[in-house]
């Protein structure tokens, strides 16, 4: 539910609330949550705007756990989180400040006493500036962040992060689109990382578009933030951050009735994940991953359309949460508008598909061995109806009632139905 008030042409007040309740498909999946948001806005002239934001999240849930890890007790989690934000936009400059306060408790069932209590806070200050210099667009910005995390009786940590970036690029409708930028990051006591990025796009012919890109990022060293005993450390042998790079290219064909695209990307992730008790490096290989994405959007006639996407990956890494090498999605859509636009009906029937999935090894030594999961195709149906300013939707997932898992030991729901009603009204 969301309510808004606009008493004058220069001020506005918006408040909303969301209630969530989920019984779960198993005894350890119950979920209750409440979310409250508030926004107060004031404009000063055509180019100045001041805005205050408040977001409150409360959650009480059972944490689903793998059936193949009987040694690990069930967990129950309670969460309280407050976010305050203050935004100022003045001509080409924008400033945003955010403060977050978080309190979380974990319980090992059936023990009623809290096994872990976390108190955390974070303050962020973001500043951005952009302008046009002839045929070139220029954007720059900076971010300062200070965070703290206290786990009662176990740890108390504080960290400051800094980021600064600048970008130069052509305008959106230039024959040659290009973008070049560099970002400097400093995470806590880690070394400053300089990360470049480049994008180039070109219209080759009528309806044919191409794009090339390169980017990089870093993975910071640190301990895992698990619910139980912290058993992993990330980082190289010197406990320093590790850098990763990504290259890619895409080709797209557009016409009135059909759109095709193909994208090829390559990433080189160098991440070390070690087990603390034995100090053995569990995952140390360079993760060289290729990915190919192919998609089509075909308009069959005035009302029916067809959509499909296929993703194929190949890598040499030993991933603690391995992803399937093949993923597919497709659907047929019926869309029509009746009564001069007063009734809009859209129906989609389709499928999600996953190839073979290997067993997860996130917590070696605590789980029973499991075989690889076979490929699976799961159907879905979605109906959306819009009647003037009201919207009604129904989503039926896995209506065939297929037994399947995306990760070994974690059963997915059968015949899950979601529905909702939205009404936008103005007075």
Q: Of 22-36, 127-141, 256-270, 296-310, where does mean pLDDT reach its minimum? A: 22-36
Return the biggest CA–CA distance within the chain. 70
Strand ranges of the sheet holding 273-275, from the earlier edge strand across to the other edge: 222-223, 232-234, 273-275, 280-283
Residue 71 has pLDDT above 70, yes or no: no
Distance of CA 29 to the CA centre of its chain: 22
Q: What pLDDT is attached to residue 406?
A: 82
pLDDT of residue 339: 87
Burial of 76 (0-12, 13-18, 19+ CB in 10 A): buried
Closest CA to 281 of 271, 289, 291: 271
Mean pLDDT on 259-285: 69
Give the distance from CA 388 to its chain's centroid.
32
**How far is Cα 332 from Cα 344, in angstroms, rounded to an integer?**
17
- What pLDDT was estimated at residue 64? 66
Per cent of the chain over pLDDT 70 is 80
- The pLDDT score that the predictor gives to residue 368 is 53
pLDDT of residue 239: 62
pLDDT category at 26 given cuts 50, 70, 90 is low
In this structure, what DSSP letter does residue 134 have?
T
Long-range contacts at 293-298 (CB < 8 A, ≥ 24 apart): 293/261, 293/262, 293/263, 293/264, 293/265, 294/261, 294/262, 294/263, 295/259, 295/260, 295/261, 295/262, 296/258, 296/259, 296/260, 297/258, 297/259, 298/257, 298/258
| pLDDT class of 233 with cuts at 50, 70, 90 | low
- Give the span between the Cα atoms of 163 and 72, in whole angstroms: 39
DSSP secondary structure of 185-202: EEETTSPPEEEEEEEEEE
Q: Pick the closest to residue 225 from 97, 116, 98 (CA basis).
A: 116
Give residue 421's pLDDT band: very low, low, confident or very high (50, 70, 90): confident
SS3 of 339, please? Answer: helix
Angle among Cα 124, 126, 131 to the nearest 5 degrees reads 175
Mean pLDDT of the chain: 84
**CA geometry: angle at 190 spanning 186 and 193, to 5°?**
50
pLDDT, tens digit, 9 for 90 and up, residues 214-229: 999 887 766 544 434 4
Residue in this structure with the two tokens 């497709």, named with its chain if needed: 330
pLDDT band at 394 (very low <50, low <70, confident <90, very high): very high
Average pLDDT over residues 242-269: 91
Prediction pTM value: 0.77
Range list of β-strands (E), 23-113: 31-44, 48-63, 75-90, 93-108
On the question of pLDDT at 282 being above 60, the answer is no
Long-range Cβ contact pairs of 276-279 (< 8 A, separation 24 or more) = 276/223, 276/230, 276/231, 276/232, 276/233, 277/231
Burial level of 23, CB count in 10 A (0-12/13-18/19+)? exposed
What is the mean predicted confidence (pLDDT) over 206-221? 88
Q: What are phi and psi of 26, to 5 degrees?
A: -135, 170
In the chain, where the domains are located: 1-156, 175-320
The predicted model gives 144-152 an average pLDDT of: 91
Q: Which of 123, 154, 147, 322 is nearest to 227 (CA)?
A: 154
Task: Render the burial of 119-130: b for 16+ CB within 10 Å, e for the rest.
Answer: ebbbbbebbbee
């Amino acid at each position: 539910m969301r309510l808004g008030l606009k008493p004058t042409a220069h001020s506005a007040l918006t408040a909303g609330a969301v209630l969530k309740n989920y019984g779960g498909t198993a005894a350890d999946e119950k979920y209750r949550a409440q979310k409250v948001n508030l926004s107060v806005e004031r404009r000063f002239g055509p180019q100045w705007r001041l805005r205050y934001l408040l977001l409150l999240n409360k959650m009480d849930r059972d944490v689903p756990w793998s059936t193949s890890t009987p040694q690990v007790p069930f967990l129950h989690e309670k969460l309280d989180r407050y976010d305050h934000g203050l935004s100022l936009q003045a001509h080409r400059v924008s400033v945003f400040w955010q403060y977050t306060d978080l309190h979380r408790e974990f319980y090992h069932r059936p023990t009623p006493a809290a096994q872990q209590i976390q108190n955390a806070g974070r303050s962020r200050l973001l500043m951005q500036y952009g302008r046009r210099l002839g045929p070139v667009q220029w954007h720059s910005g900076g971010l300062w962040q200070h965070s703290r995390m206290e786990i009662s009786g176990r740890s108390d940590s504080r960290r400051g992060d800094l980021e600064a970036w600048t970008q130069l690029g052509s305008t959106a409708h230039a024959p040659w689109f290009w973008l070049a930028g560099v970002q400097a990051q400093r995470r806590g006591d880690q070394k400053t990382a300089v990360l470049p990025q480049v994008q180039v796009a070109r219209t080759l012919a009528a309806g044919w578009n191409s794009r090339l890109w390169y980017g990089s990022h870093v993975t910071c060293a640190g301990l895992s933030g698990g619910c139980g005993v912290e058993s992993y450390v990330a980082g190289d042998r010197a406990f320093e951050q590790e850098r990763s790079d990504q290259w890619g290219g895409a080709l797209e064909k557009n016409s009135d009735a059909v759109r095709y695209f193909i994208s090829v990307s390559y990433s080189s992730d160098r991440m070390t994940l070690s087990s603390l008790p034995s100090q053995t490096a569990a995952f140390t290989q360079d993760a060289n991953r290729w990915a190919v994405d192919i998609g089509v959007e075909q308009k069959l006639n005035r009302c029916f359309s067809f959509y499909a996407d296929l993703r194929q990956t190949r890598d040499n890494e030993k991933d603690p949460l391995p992803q399937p090498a093949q993923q597919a999605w497709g659907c047929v859509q019926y869309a029509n508008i009746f009564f001069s636009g007063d009734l809009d009906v859209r129906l989609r029937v389709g499928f999600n598909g996953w190839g073979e999935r290997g067993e997860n090894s996130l917590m070696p030594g605590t789980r029973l061995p499991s075989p690889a999961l076979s490929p699976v195709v799961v159907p879905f149906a979605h109906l959306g109806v819009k009647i003037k300013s009201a919207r009604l939707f129904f989503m039926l997932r896995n209506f065939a009632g297929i037994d399947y898992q995306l990760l070994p030991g974690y059963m997915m729901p059968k015949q899950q139905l979601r529905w909702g009603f939205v009404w936008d009204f103005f007075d």
